[in-house]
Amino acid sequence: MGRFLLRRLIGQGAEATVWLAHDPRLDREVALKLRHEPLAKGEMDAWLHEARAVGRLRHPHIVPVFEADVHEGRPYMVFEWVPGGTLAERLRRGPVPWREALTMACDVLDALQVAHEAGVIHRDLKPSNILIDAQGRARVMDFGIAARLDARGQAVGGAQGGAIVGTPGYIAPEAARGEPPGPAVDVFALALILAEMLGGAPVRHPASDPAQAMRRAAVELVVLPESLGERADAHLRAVLAQALVFDPVQRTASARALREALANWRDSAEGGEAHSAPMPLEGPSTVTGAGQGTLDFLWRRMRHKSDFPALGEAVARIHRVASDEQANLSSLANEILKDVALTHKLLRVVNSASFVHAGGGTIGTVSRAVALVGLSGVRNMALSLVLLEHMADRSHAQALTQEFLRALMAGMLAQSLGQTPQEREEAFIGAMFRNLGRLLVGFYFAEEAREVRELAERVGETRAAWRVLGVDYETLGCEVVRRWGLPASLQQVMRAPAGGPPARRLSAPPERLRWLASAANELADVLLAGDPAQAGARVEAVAARHAPSLALRPESVADAVRQAREQVGDFVQASALSLPGDSPVRQWLNAPTVTALADEAPLDLALEATALPPDALPDPGEPTLRLPQAAQDGALVQSLLTAGIADVTQAMVNDQVDLSQVLRMVLETLYRAVGFSRVVFCLRDAKSDQLTGRFGLGEDVEALCQVFRVPLQVPAGKAPDLFTAVCQRGADTLIVDTRTGAIAEALPDWFHRTVKARSFLVLPLTVKQVPFGMIYADLLPPHTLALGEQVLAQLRTLRNQAVMAFRQLAS
């Protein structure tokens, strides 16, 4: 075939055969894959284009493509010949030892990450496409049906959707439905392969009818087998479950993220800790955009303090034991007894009036408490107490206590509104932990939490959190729970559903649990708003809103509120909490009735961005941001920004923050990653009340700094220029073309005389809505800026880090 001599057939599939062949020109053995059928002209061009993309992949764990050609209309590819066998052949002998399985999985994920960064998706990853060489290394082969992605991560060519490509046992649900592929399909397949290596059998049961198997793969959730080997624990199951989430948006973010999570577990297991306490997931975050800097900074603070690392370990340990069907009473009791303070308070709670019916007020041991109240009931109380204990020693503990009790109220309301014992216990955790992000920010970033509360009165809490932190509280809490190693099912319940309650009856988790948690949090919010004795009508309003989906009756809601009031009161008393008389919780507990609710709508979880017209200034009101898509949103730009953000975060973790160093790192990351012509940092001058250029990078930047004078106040009757308007409103603004009429007129004279940029980006720095600085970055003609959402989000992260550096220095 061409110059290649076919030696013997070594594999055959539905679309092609694979031969061991000899290349006489280079005198080497190769593997040659030949399609059964010829391709049409249009199909051939697309195939050759994809073959070139695959041929450029270079990685030790990818079998390289040497050549691609056509023989009598039938395309073929020539690969390196790898002596050994496939993983499929190895699996016929039974499970793979856990160390070997984890090593091979990490090798494959390294290879996939390189392919994904090059815009190539494998989309048919399976054991027969993973070779094991003579050194025992896993090597990925057969990218012959790979999909290509453009710089924005969008499928191109024949991969744009419609065609179903893959193997039923390993295909992701979205791929089985013919949706455009992305990196998540390969992450899904690798998780199935690893589970099969550990357990010794395919996770999906093979079907005799391939079409039926594909239809099932498109709609069915993956359930991990009971056993994944002797060393697999709840934390490893959680890692795999996260990578197998049905919705690709909620799935593990990337091959790198899954690789790091598995490596962390492997390191823990090799240290003999796999059965004791799950290690936090410290791999790359599922959070993208402006919140990544906030999350990384928060996580490092948590690791450097004695508070929440211990909390995370305790939460994960208690939740794992109580959720394990094989757990017994003593195993949970032993976990709780490790903490003397927790043991004491737990016994006080279970002997309170709320549980007098269970033990007659004479429960003296944790084991008996577990036996009488139940594994899940004690788990919920223990987690509540653990959460409270770690927040009781800060100067702002009173505000945190109020926030904690509001979260506890939500959990208890959800528990009372549940229909079955299992639903009640899971709803408690989901509803309470939905508030974890708010609690963490209040604990670690008291000033920012106060700023969010003040801004929330005008724009709502979700938008306020985005503006101040770059991430909403809910996402922050879910990411921390993921890093603690708690199951993906809990993370799903923690995420509030979008829109209003559905009109149909909900019966299946997690959707019903999510709405139950939402209803409970609505109740908690309105119970603590206004006069508790004047809200009977609002109780009925909440019940009516959720009645179609959750089958709530006004009387059941009233009963839930009454039970929650009793339980919270008992908890406050048993925990010896001191509440001021004017606190919302104290007023609610002392109210003669418990029907006080408010008719507030649920928070809008989506941060809305209004496009900034290229020919007009932003209207007063909400911050606006133009989000064009662009070549500057490529993988290289994002990776440089990510590396810079990590460096800045690491510098900020140090006790002695060098503000000048942090700011220069921020500007250097902007300048190098995106390729701006000039970047200038401006800071407020107290005497003139202007933002003035202080330092920067790029062409003639010293002269440029001298001309930047942005007044923060303008005389009455005089219109502000563009920079003043943008900074007064704190609006991240991208100007694509300064030549358009209204934009050109709004720019100050000094800009037209000296700066002369075609496109520029402005990132204001504000504290409590008051501007104190500005980052300016531009491109000189003839170039124009075109930044995608991913890059814009990362740029805002850098801006947020600069603001945090100022705040950290001030504190």
Give catalytic residues, as residue numbers.
124
Residue among 147, 85, 103, 158 nearest 122 (CA): 147
Question: What are the phi and psi torsion angles at 224 (to 5°)?
Answer: -65, 145
Contact between 290 and 800 (Cβ < 8 Å): yes
User: What is the rounded distance in angstroms from the CA atom of residue 171 to the CA atom of residue 192?
Assistant: 9
Phi, psi of 155 (to 5 degrees): -65, 145
- State which H helix or E strand residue 370 sits in: helix 366-373
Q: How far is CA 678 from CA 111, 474, 763, 775, 780, in A?
A: 37, 37, 14, 11, 8
Distance CA 3, CA 23 (A): 7
Count Cβ atoms within 10 A of the Cβ of residue 236 and give its class: 0-12 exposed, 13-18 middle, 19 or more buried: buried
Question: C-alpha angle 130/134/138, rounded to 5°?
Answer: 25
- What does the alpha-carbon distance between residue 94 and residue 762 come to, in Å, rounded to a whole number? 59
Cα–Cα dist 708/382, whole Å? 57
Please list the alpha-helical segments (H only) found in 393-510: 397-417, 421-433, 436-444, 446-459, 461-469, 473-484, 488-494
Cβ atoms of 532 and 596 closer than 8 Å: yes
DSSP code string of 682-738: EEEETTTTEEEEEEEEETTHHHHHHH-EEES---TT----HHHHHHHHT--EEES-T
How far CA 241 is from CA of 315, 318, 482, in Å, comes to 19, 19, 11
Assigned token pair, 353: 């009036």
Compute the distance between CA of residue 170 and CA of residue 168 in angstroms, rounded to an integer.
Answer: 6
Alpha-carbon span 504 to 195, nearest angstrom: 36
Strands 138-140 vs 130-132: parallel, antiparallel or unpaired: antiparallel
d(CA 385, CA 388): 5
